[in-house]
Amino acid sequence: MKQDTVLIIGANGQIGTALLPQLQHLYGYDRVIATDIRPSLQSTDIFETLDATDAAAIATIVKKYRITQIYHLAAVLSAKGETDPLWAWNLNMQTLLNVLEVARTYQIQKVFVPSSIAAFGEHAPKYETPQSTLLDPATVYGISKVAAENWSVYYHKRYGLDVRSLRYPGVISYQSMPGGGTTDYAVAIYHAAVQGLDFECFLAEDTLLPMIYMNDALRATLELMEAPAHQISVRTSYNLAGMSFTPAQVTASIQTYFPDFKTTYQPDFRQAIADSWPKSIDDSVARHDWGWKPAFDLPKMTHEMITHLTEIYHQVA
């Protein structure tokens, strides 16, 4: 096992919930410190309640456990952020700057700060959106991600801090419930199907968006963080792609298992957010720099989601 000691900020979120056991396997249970503002949602050897808006509290944990890597996963997501933009901006930016400053002060070896396809806006190419293009996001979440990318570059250039990032597409997982993102319909729809319920979608049936299965998202994250520093040519955030599909397509995929499953469509304010985002992503730079390649397409992901959620709901029943 590796000798680093890893801090996860936001361990109860969608990414954190799934990433925690992966990091424990890689580094050891006693070398992964999970933190969140809420009590722990899963079994872990070391958990600390942490408000990441408190820089001193982050520093205390970094010193206490002699942290060498930080995964900063705490954030207000796109749809939830639009309900209170100033709160979302302040939380996203304050936690980011706290992490970067603590990492600089205590000479943390590596920091992971996720970005998102929400960083793109209406003037970016919709199909095969390139690594470098205009970033004019439509949401406060996207604005905060563009700012985070620029701050990451600044800390790398000025202080030599090794900050790494991925622009996640919509992440689909069975490990946690939806958390306020515009792509969350693609998680909730599987929960409904497995419970024998029909589904009302808040996006139009032909809304094409980039998505990725959690297994691929985790592997990409760890591959990026394990890559030698000389292979990292992007210090803003790497484009990352898995697959693109519409609500109608994921419905059809689910119907191969549940033929009577039905989806109705009632687009709401999240439709405008989705319409501002890319439809597919060019991740050729990640493929070139550190060998990224997705393993899951829609049929394979549907099989995994239905299998795991069926087990979960059977256990609950």
Which residue numbers are catalytic? 141
Token pair belonging to 181: 């993102």
Angle between helices 85-105 and 55-65 (to 10 degrees): 40
| Beta strands across the sheet bearing 110-112 | 47-49, 32-36, 6-9, 69-72, 110-112, 163-164
Q: Is 160 buried (19+), middle (13-18) or exposed (0-12) by CB count in 10 A? A: exposed
Backbone angles phi, psi at 221, to 5 degrees: -60, -50
8-state DSSP, 40: P
User: What does the longest C-alpha to C-alpha distance in the chain come to?
Assistant: 58
73: which DSSP letter?
-
Rounded to 10°, the helix 140-159/85-105 angle is: 20
Extract the tokens encoding 262. Answer: 């039905």
CA atoms lying within 13 Å on the CB side of residue 26:
17
* Residue 245 bridge partners (DSSP): 209
